[in-house]
Amino acid sequence: MPIEVESLSVSRYETVLAAMRARHEEVASGEAAGVVWLVEHDPVYTAGRATPAAELGDGVVPIERGGKVTWHGPGQLTIYPVLKLPKRDVRDWLRRIERFGVEIAAAFGLRAEPSVDGTGVFIDGRKFASIGVAVKRWTNLHGIGVNVAVQGSPWHAVRPCGLSPDVMTDLSAAAGRVVTMDEARAAARAAVSVLAADSDPL
């Protein structure tokens, strides 16, 4: 069965977070089908479970995903697969999300590679997509933030995923042209089958 993909309007992070947690409960209990949400957030910093206490400043939203502090906002396509895992294997699931990011980059003629620790996807050593998930009852929460055409340097206010802000990039910079959000959404829709494929991702 094809995965349902739904594009949301530009939204406050807290609004989507509450809706995602509610949908997760429905999917985990079998009351609702899985869904992949594509959303562009109003600007926000979020902090995963590995975030040092010193980085939990005002305006940073602590959440249950893995990883450290990152930014969401205009020019980033944040993708939330609220799905039951195809296999009861979290490493397999992270590889699928990495491959999903690689496939999105490939839609723009870009060769991307996953990080060694399952936290992101890189092009020429620079990170364009950050991964942070929580798996409960073998159902996914949170997902991957794909930087498409981000204005300014929002990562310089924090250490994104524990890295230097200078490592961050977006698809537009890597492609040498402006990649639109509509193009990024189309690439995500085209690649979403990777998240549910029967075979192991490469």
Q: Where in the sequence numbering do the catalytic residues fall?
A: 161
Q: Parallel, antiparallel, or unpaired for β 35-39 and 4-7?
A: parallel
Question: What's the rounded Cα separation, in Å, for the pair 115 and 27?
Answer: 29
The closest of 142, 116, 119 to 46, measured between CA atoms, is 142
Residues 6 or more apart whose CB falls under 8 angstroms from that of 152 comprise none
User: Considering all CA atoms of the chain, what is the largest pairwise distance in Å, rounded to the nearest integer?
Assistant: 45
The closest of 38, 2, 24, 49 to 139, measured between CA atoms, is 24
User: 172-177: long-range contacts at Cβ-Cβ below 8 A with a sequence spacing of 24 or more?
Assistant: 172/148, 174/105, 174/108, 174/110, 174/123, 174/124, 174/126, 174/128, 175/108, 175/109, 175/110
Question: What's the rounded Cα separation, in Å, for the pair 164 and 162?
Answer: 7
